Amino acid sequence: MRSTALKQFAKLEATGLWREAPELQRREVIVAFGESSLTISDPRSELALSHWSLPAVERLNPGEEPALYAPGQDALETLELDDALMVEALEKVRNALAADRPNPGRLRGSLLFGASAVIALVMGALLPGALVNHTASMLPPASRLAIGRMALADLTQVTGLCTDPSGQAALDRLSARLFGPTAPKIVILREGQARALHLPGGFIALHRSLIESASGPEVAAGFALVEESRAKATDPMLGLLNHAGFFATLHLLTSGELEPEAVQGYGRSLSLQTPAPVNTETLLARFGQAQLPSTPYARVVDPSGESVLPLIEADPMARREALPLMPDADWLSLQAICAD
């Protein structure tokens, strides 16, 4: 049984240069060609950084070398490849998909589009919230990731982003330690009023003060855990679509694309919102699962300890020896993440 989309390859990997967003630096990655997707991984930690659906991959510079790809028309990510075998494989898949799109399918797609539009218009007229809920529930992971990147780009126009490669690599390893294989992407913001935010697509943004003013990574890790709990309690896509509005949400539902203009201003609005409360028992269980003390987080939230007393008194690691979250070298790199 083959493990790639092309029968002549049982396994196909290559190195490439991946850029997560236009304002970020390129980084060397390992690109694995699978049955239905490209997996982009860090060559040192082997942690998956992104997954691209093969049918959505587009070449941005046809006929030019090295080849430049993106996971969709409006995607922020790009991937530069000069491996001839990998480029050939991608072009074969793209050409096959283009040839396998007959006119009857277009008609069928038009009919489906029309039916979806009618249903969406009725939903929007009768229950605006139902349209947002339905659209959010229908979005595949790749769309959520793309929209999350758009939201992050909008947010960082206001707050700035710390992008030192060594610091980000240490942060990626911390996220993997806390959350496992489905680790969210944690980033550090230069400015802004919010200590921590979460965005669709699995993004968590932390203020630089949580690192630079702390004696260790426990504070930042605690805020990241709490934001993950908030994201699980309420789908962050709902807030973004409410900001985008009815017509942008309708366009997303019927076409699968959200216009970048619909996200403008969302980052500023999000950074000014009061964080939603999270159930204390849920937090304690989550800290215990991650083997992370809750007291450092609680002391930053309320230095007096009064409003967070349960998180201090019932700290799941109070009577257990906590393993270090990261090596000293990683902590030093993380503290310098905003030095660039």
Percentage of the chain beyond pLDDT 70 is: 87
Identify the bridge partners of residue 69 per DSSP, sorted by sequence position. Answer: 59, 79
Query: How many residues are recorded in the chain?
Result: 340
Residues 246, 184, 234, 270, CA torsion sign = negative
Q: Residue 317 above 50 pLDDT?
A: yes
- Enter the tokens of residue 79: 């991937």
d(CA 40, CA 145): 14
- Under the banding of pLDDT at 50, 70 and 90, the label for residue 74 is confident
Residue 9 pLDDT: 59
Question: Is the pLDDT at 127 greater than 60, yes or no?
Answer: no
In contact, 23 and 10? CB cutoff 8 Å: no
Task: Enter the tokens of residue 229.
Answer: 């709990």
Confidence of residue 266 (pLDDT cuts 50, 70, 90): very high
CA dist., res. 321 & res. 133, Å (int): 43
Q: How many helical (H) and strand (E) elements, i.e. helices and strands, does the chain have?
A: 14, 11
- At residue 112, the pLDDT reads 44
Which of 339, 331, 338 lies closest to 161, judged by CA?
Answer: 338
- The 185-189 sheet, strands edge to edge: 161-162, 185-189, 203-207, 196-199
The whole-number pLDDT of residue 6 equals 57
* Integer Cα distance of 224 and 204 in angstroms: 7
Per residue in 158-171, pLDDT (tens digit) is: 999 998 999 999 99
Q: What is the structure's pLDDT at 3? A: 53
Model confidence pLDDT, tens digit, residues 216-244: 999 999 999 999 999 999 999 999 999 99
CA distance linking residue 88 with residue 67, whole number of Å = 10
Mean pLDDT of the chain: 85
SS3 content of the chain, % helix, strand, coil (to 5): 50, 15, 35
Tokens of 337: 């993440």
Give tens-digit pLDDT for 13-66.
Answer: 899 999 988 878 899 999 988 777 788 988 888 888 888 877 788 888 888 889
Count the Cβ atoms, other than its own, within 10 Å of residue 305.
14
Task: Render pLDDT for 192-221 as a digit per residue (tens, 0 to 9).
Answer: 989 999 999 999 999 999 999 999 999 999
**pLDDT for 103:** 44
Q: Amino acid letter at 35?
A: E
- Structural domains in the chain, CATH included, are 12-99 (2.30.29.30), 138-335 (no CATH)
Q: Which pTM does this prediction carry?
A: 0.67
Cross-strand partners of 27: 18
Structure tokens at 118: 């009618």
The whole-number average pLDDT for the span 270-288 is 93
The mean-pLDDT minimum among 111-115, 179-183, 258-262 falls in 111-115
Q: How far apart are CA 124 and CA 48, in angstroms?
A: 38
